[in-house]
Structure 1
Amino acid sequence: MNFASDNTSGVDLEIFSVVEQAAKSSAMPYGDDVFTSKLQIIANEIFEKPVSIFPVATGSAANALALSVVCPPYGSVYCHRGSHLEEDECAAPEFYIGGGKLSLLSGEKAKFSAENLKAKLEVKSPAPPIHHSPAAAVSITQATEVGSVYSMDEIAAISDVARYHKLSLHMDGARIANAIVSLGVTPAEATWKSGVDVLSLGATKNGAFAAEAVIFFDPEKSADFEFRRKRGGHLFSKHRFLSSQLLPYLEENKWLRLAENANLRAQQLGKGLQKLSQFNILHEVETNMVFVKMPASLVEGFKEKNCLFYTWGEDEGYIFGRLVTSFNTTEREVDRFLGIASQLAI
């Protein structure tokens, strides 16, 4: 059983089937194909307005290229200090922006508040503005790196601050489907209706081979994205193999059904571990991640039973762990893991 990451999961069979169809026929390159055309139509329907959608292969590419459009080389992007942008993208945002910087905010549950953002933006320096990197954009992660979600009110409040300061609001949505399911809202409500300008939409963690997308909710603001994607090496010649993953993923709410299973299995896992006295759940389980503190002595036992998950740090004989469920995690797998945990905890 592999709970190390939702990146360890396989591929949804329907998505696999559509990619196979794309592989059996020829098509014009660089996005001039039927899969990409249909993807644009379905994206407009899902988000209830005309949008511009650009498939890319990785989440880092989606985030970095999206931010390069809304932030000049001398500008700053405001984000949480525990965000993927800051911790796990090897300075890709700064690289693709062309020299911009990340300005870091703090907050519990890997979220920052509108009040925190407002306070940082309003800090004044006695030096002339020309000496400082001006604010250009704000980025929030939905769901966050600890599996928490921003409420619609929290996003709207952050958007209000961003609008006041004439900043674009970007959403890193590597797990946006899990967040939408958790909140019980529509994709439109979770994004542009709450004030989001540009979304990095994830699919790889939720049933695709390797496909993400950048979505601009004001198509006029996406004018130079295609050039940045090409210059950055992320315009695929056989573009249909990205679009043929995203098309079945988004059609008929498949992406939300896949995420719902992942969330349910995490709830099952969290509730089961909570019943065991040696496991302490560190964060409320809101999406598909469970964070625990447990005796370090149990780790080898899990490994021997081929139960894989990430651990880090050690505090007086205890260790921290992260378990992530996926679109195809089964109830039986979770029950089996809980049974092993119960045996080891004796």
Structure 2
Amino acid sequence: MHFASDNSGPALPQVLAALTKANEGYAMGYGADDEMAQVTAKIREIFEAPEAAVHLVSTGTTANSLALATLCNPWETIFCSHVAHIHEDECNAPEFYTGGAKLTMATAPGVDKMTPDSLHAAIAGEETRGVHGPQRGPVSITQVTERGTVYTLKELTALCDVAKSFDCPVHLDGARFTNAMVALGCTAAEMTWKAGVDAVSFGGTKNGCMGVEAVIFFDPKHAWEFELRRKRGGHLFSKHRYLSAQMLGYLDDNTWVEAATRANANAAHLAGGLRAIEGVTFAHPPQANMLFVNLPRGTHKRLFAAGATYHLWGGDLEGEDDSEMLTARFVCDWSLSKELIDQFLDLAAG
């Protein structure tokens, strides 16, 4: 009954098999491996972008930070949501790798999604003090959001249109990219460059890889700068084939889509069972593989005592009032079984 995070789950068998295969013999380093050439071709095919620049790194923070650094000058600001991962969970890495660019919030505190109006107001509010203030930089959109919601294609396009009206590039933080794509029933191209996105952090780790993320620029003019920033930042793997092999095993035979489909289905099954329990409410609408659910403290105590693993989103488990509602975050990965989910639901129901 492990719902702490999808990055806590096991790697996909296809990923492990690809690593074993890539481990045979010798291969050129630093991205010159044969597997990387196949990854680049595969990603270009999936995204319908034959000229796209494709790069691999080992973590999502690296992917986001180096991508944004490539799109952003040190004297600019990056526009994002208050709950964006780059704001809440990356220890100022974007600011560090950009050389000092700041982050400007384009939502009210706690709001998961930017709107065209909120983004327009945030961008318009900058470049008002001449040389004394930050200049307008990229917009970073998190998809799936950090509250488990998903931007529709219409919403994405509207945000990109606002960004383009100010000549701001758009970055998509896609740590759970495939979960969002499956939830929308769209293609990778429709959720990125066809909507107006310039660069995407295409996540693999949360959806069944050991540790690999792709950074994709739809305009290849950014490729060399990213290469230099990756090397200078200490994130160019010498034995790069082990990154490439993971991504190749992940992409082959539609494995990436099937894994996200299973994760989303697990979350839907969990959500359906929780809705049937009297008094349970959702803090945010569950739209992919992450749920924020309000349960009584006594229910949390019972679940934790039975071995369930998940995170409380505020509140003290040790409080005396067992009827007080506390918010839990449940994240489902590809490997969860319906039997374990049902076991958890039986415990939650009491």
Give the TM-score taking structure 2 as reference length. 0.95
2-side partners of 1:249 and 1:109: how far apart? Answer: 32
Tell me if the contact between 1:211 and 1:242 (Cα under 8 Å) persists in the aligned partners: yes
User: 1:303 aligns to what?
Assistant: 304
Q: Evaluate the alpha carbon distance shift between residue 237 and residue 282 of structure 1 in structure 2; reply closer, same or farther with a 3 A threshold.
A: same
Name the SS for the 1:314 alignment partner. Answer: coil
Tell me if the contact between 2:292 and 2:327 (Cα under 8 Å) persists in the aligned partners: yes
2-side partners of 1:120 and 1:291: how far apart? Answer: 27
User: 2:32 aligns to what?
Assistant: 32
Name the SS for the 2:314 alignment partner. Answer: strand
User: 2:119 aligns to what?
Assistant: 117
Tell me if the contact between 1:140 and 1:170 (Cα under 8 Å) persists in the aligned partners: yes
| Alignment of 1:6 onto 2:6 | yes
Tell me if the contact between 1:211 and 1:246 (Cα under 8 Å) persists in the aligned partners: yes
Tell me if the contact between 1:109 and 1:283 (Cα under 8 Å) persists in the aligned partners: no
Q: How does 1:74-89 map to 2 (within 5 A)?
A: 74-89=75-90
| Alignment of 1:136 onto 2:143 | no
User: 1:340 aligns to what?
Assistant: 347
User: 1:152 aligns to what?
Assistant: 153
2-side partners of 1:142 and 1:124: how far apart? Answer: 25
Q: Evaluate the alpha carbon distance shift between residue 70 and residue 124 of structure 1 in structure 2; reply closer, same or farther with a 3 A threshold.
A: closer
Q: Evaluate the alpha carbon distance shift between residue 124 and residue 250 of structure 1 in structure 2; reply closer, same or farther with a 3 A threshold.
A: closer
Give the unaligned 5+ runs of structure 1.
none
Partner AA of 2:113 in structure 1? K
Greater alpha carbon shift after TM alignment, 191-200 vs 107-116: 107-116
User: 1:186 aligns to what?
Assistant: 187
Partner AA of 1:332 in structure 2? E
1:79-118, CA deviations, whole angstroms, 9 ceiling, x for partnerless residues?
A: 0011101000000000000010000121586010111111
1-side partners of 2:166 and 2:128: how far apart? Answer: 19
Tell me if the contact between 1:6 and 1:324 (Cα under 8 Å) persists in the aligned partners: yes
Tell me if the contact between 1:69 and 1:222 (Cα under 8 Å) persists in the aligned partners: no
Q: CA deviation at 1:21?
A: 1.1
User: 2:334 aligns to what?
Assistant: 327
Greater alpha carbon shift after TM alignment, 117-126 vs 234-243: 117-126
Q: CA deviation at 1:124?
A: 6.7
Q: CA deviation at 1:222?
A: 2.5
Tell me if the contact between 2:126 and 2:135 (Cα under 8 Å) persists in the aligned partners: no
1:136-185, CA deviations, whole angstroms, 9 ceiling, x for partnerless residues?
A: 10000000001111111111111111111111100000000000000000
Q: CA deviation at 1:120?
A: 2.0
Q: CA deviation at 1:300?
A: 2.3
Structure 1 runs of 4+ aligned residues shifted over 4 Å read: none
Q: Evaluate the alpha carbon distance shift between residue 126 and residue 206 of structure 1 in structure 2; reply closer, same or farther with a 3 A threshold.
A: closer
Tell me if the contact between 1:79 and 1:102 (Cα under 8 Å) persists in the aligned partners: yes
1-side partners of 2:281 and 2:63: how far apart? Answer: 35
Tell me if the contact between 1:65 and 1:225 (Cα under 8 Å) persists in the aligned partners: yes
Name the SS for the 2:278 alignment partner. Answer: coil
Q: CA deviation at 1:198?
A: 0.2
Q: CA deviation at 1:252?
A: 2.8
1-side partners of 2:219 and 2:240: how far apart? Answer: 23
Cα RMSD after superposing both structures: 1.4
Give the unaligned 5+ runs of structure 2.
none
2-side partners of 1:207 and 1:165: how far apart? Answer: 37
Greater alpha carbon shift after TM alignment, 273-282 vs 104-113: 104-113
| Alignment of 1:56 onto 2:43 | no
Partner AA of 1:100 in structure 2? A
Residue identity (%): 41
User: 2:278 aligns to what?
Assistant: 277
Q: CA deviation at 1:341?
A: 1.1
Q: Evaluate the alpha carbon distance shift between residue 174 and residue 238 of structure 1 in structure 2; reply closer, same or farther with a 3 A threshold.
A: same
Name the SS for the 1:5 alignment partner. Answer: coil
Tell me if the contact between 1:77 and 1:137 (Cα under 8 Å) persists in the aligned partners: yes
User: 2:93 aligns to what?
Assistant: 92
Q: How does 1:117-266 map to 2 (within 5 A)?
A: 117-123=119-125, 127=129, 129-266=130-267
Tell me if the contact between 1:109 and 1:148 (Cα under 8 Å) persists in the aligned partners: no
Q: CA deviation at 1:125?
A: 7.5
Q: Evaluate the alpha carbon distance shift between residue 265 and residue 130 of structure 1 in structure 2; reply closer, same or farther with a 3 A threshold.
A: same
1-side partners of 2:180 and 2:126: how far apart? Answer: 35
Name the SS for the 2:7 alignment partner. Answer: helix
1:38-85, CA deviations, whole angstroms, 9 ceiling, x for partnerless residues?
A: 001101110112211100000000000000001001110000011101
Q: CA deviation at 1:221?
A: 2.5
1:291-330, CA deviations, whole angstroms, 9 ceiling, x for partnerless residues?
A: 1111112222212211111013239722110111001111
Greater alpha carbon shift after TM alignment, 257-266 vs 276-285: 276-285
2-side partners of 1:301 and 1:141: how far apart? Answer: 34
| Alignment of 1:286 onto 2:287 | yes
1-side partners of 2:35 and 2:123: how far apart? Answer: 43
Q: CA deviation at 1:337?
A: 0.9
Q: CA deviation at 1:201?
A: 0.7
